[in-house]
Amino acid sequence: MASHLTLGLRARDLSCIRGGKTLFAALDVSVLPGQSLHLQGDNGSGKTSLLRLLAGLSEPARGDILWGGRPMAQVRETYQQDMLYLGHALALKEGLSALENLQFAAAMTGQAWSPDAVTKALRQMGLRGREHMPLQVLSQGQKRRVALARLSLSPAHLWLLDEPFVALDAAACELLLGLMQDHVGQGGMLVFTSHQALSWRGGEHRSLRLGAP
Amino acid sequence: MRALWSLWRRDMLLALRRPSEVLTVVFFFVVVAALFPLAIGPERPTLRMLAPGVLWVGALLASLLALNRLFEADHRDGTLEQMLLSGTPLTLLVVAKIAAHWVLCGLPLVLLAPLLGVLFDLSGDALGVLALSLLIGTPVLSCLGAIGAALTLGLRGGGVLLALLVLPLFVPVLVFGAGAVEALAAGLGSGAHLSILMALLLLSGLFSPWACAQALRIALE
């Protein structure tokens, strides 16, 4: 466990080809504990593709990804236990309540989150009184808040967030930024994409611009 | 284990909260089976002869109806991605999904078939064998259909392609399922047919979850 944390996530010489077009080539990425990486770039520059590669959802055309110094293929299971990926799609069911959705998300990763803990996380995201409502009556932003409540519940050290600020109001953006900064401040690792310029306080924050000529 | 159980429970819960999909399958089966005796007329020997085939074809088409939604919703809302990243083997998660699908769309057909068989003047023994053949046969349909559903995931007009893909695979199940009841009527005993159905179930139960998982991985690339 300790070795994962000291060596972090490292990708060497990554290339990604989508629809016959090279999105990026010979890309080196590394995230160590206490570091955050902000992926920037125009639409279609490969931010989401890079995140999906890092999450292990797709295979790179070239290059390899190391977790704790070992190739992803060897440590996939421990990596998945220690990583939280939130993509464009929120992986929430309209027919289930926020509470049920989060408890299901926990069970899928083999954890059990108590209803109290989930309720607390939902209230922290400003969803007091909506814990038991079916998701279909919540607004787009509120649904995103439900998905983001996973962040404060999951024990994962590495967060991979794809456009986490989309559809959030100013207060929720502030809340999320706080969560992200706390996570990195406590030695977590973070990779995220966003078009917003962020005022990041504390921790080691870098940004990587994809598709730059 | 917790992941499998909660995935199964979630699929059941979602279907019960929005029962129209399951009801469509059941309704289709009942309508097909109920219309045939009306159209054919009241001659009992003819009805008895047609019953196994009609009921089996009805069950087969009914189970085809619900197949293309098996993975579609999970694919669209990103749950499938999270399933792949959950650390639980995808093959096992697919088993939970197929099991939930069969309980929702296969088991009702098994339970209804003996009732509908009465419309065709089937004897008590024949009703029993019919239900038994469906009990063994419909899980095979779910397993084989799931492979087709996984392969056609995300394709536009995937429904037609799905039917074309899986119907040839369904044929042996149909032949031996309906054959079991016919063999009983002919006085040959249905043991051989049921044994072959059982073999098909074991084979598809072992192979299908793995094949589905591979197809789903490709769909998510």
Q: How near does any CA of chain A get to the CA of B83, in Å? A: 7
ipTM topping 0.90: no
Please report, for chain B, the start and end positions of each structural domain, with discontinuous segments joined by +: 2-220
Residues 6+ apart with CB under 8 A from A135: A92, A93, A94, A95, A96, A97, A98, A101, A143, A146
What pLDDT, in 10s, does the model give residues B74-131? 998 999 999 998 888 899 999 999 999 999 999 999 999 999 999 888 889 899 999 9
CA distance B119 to B132: 18
What pLDDT, in 10s, does the model give residues B154-208? 887 778 889 999 999 999 999 999 999 989 888 888 889 999 999 999 999 999 9
Binary contact (A89, B77; C-beta < 8 A): yes
Give residue A76's pLDDT.
87
What pLDDT, in 10s, does the model give residues A136-170? 899 988 999 999 999 988 888 999 999 999 888 88
State how far the alpha carbon of A85 is from the alpha carbons of A32, A72, A88, A205, in Å. Answer: 17, 15, 10, 19
A202: confidence class by pLDDT, cuts 50, 70, 90:
low
Is the pLDDT at B139 greater than 90, yes or no? Answer: yes
Is the pLDDT at A1 greater than 50, yes or no? Answer: no
Give residue A213's pLDDT.
46
B11: confidence class by pLDDT, cuts 50, 70, 90:
very high
**Residues 89-108 in B contacting A (C-alpha not used; CB under 8 Å):** none
A113: confidence class by pLDDT, cuts 50, 70, 90:
confident
Give residue B194's pLDDT.
93
Pick B154 or A6 by higher pLDDT.
B154
**Residues 123-152 in A contacting B (C-alpha not used; CB under 8 Å):** 134
Q: Which residues from chain A sit within 8 angstroms of residue B10, using beta carbons? A: 93, 96, 100, 104
Q: Which residues from chain B sit within 8 angstroms of residue A108, using beta carbons? A: 3, 6-7, 82-83, 86, 88
State how far the alpha carbon of B68 is from the alpha carbons of A164, B65, B81, in Å. Answer: 31, 7, 18
pTM for the model stands at: 0.89
Contact in structure between A181 and A201 (CB atoms under 8 Å): yes
Give residue A159's pLDDT.
93
CA distance A138 to A101: 13
Contact in structure between A138 and A106 (CB atoms under 8 Å): no
Residues 6+ apart with CB under 8 A from B13: A95, A96, A100
Q: Give the best-scoring range by mean pLDDT among A16-20, A86-90, A118-122, B147-151.
A: B147-151
| Rounded mean pLDDT, A56-84 | 88
B58: confidence class by pLDDT, cuts 50, 70, 90:
very high
Give residue A212's pLDDT.
58
CA distance B142 to B102: 6
Give residue A143's pLDDT.
92
Is the pLDDT at B147 greater than 80, yes or no? Answer: yes
Give residue A21's pLDDT.
85
Q: Which residues from chain A sit within 8 angstroms of residue B88, using beta carbons? A: 108-110
| Rounded mean pLDDT, A47-71 | 89
Give residue A211's pLDDT.
75
Is the pLDDT at A6 greater than 70, yes or no? Answer: no
Give residue A25's pLDDT.
85
Q: Is A93 an 8 Å CB contact of chain B?
A: yes
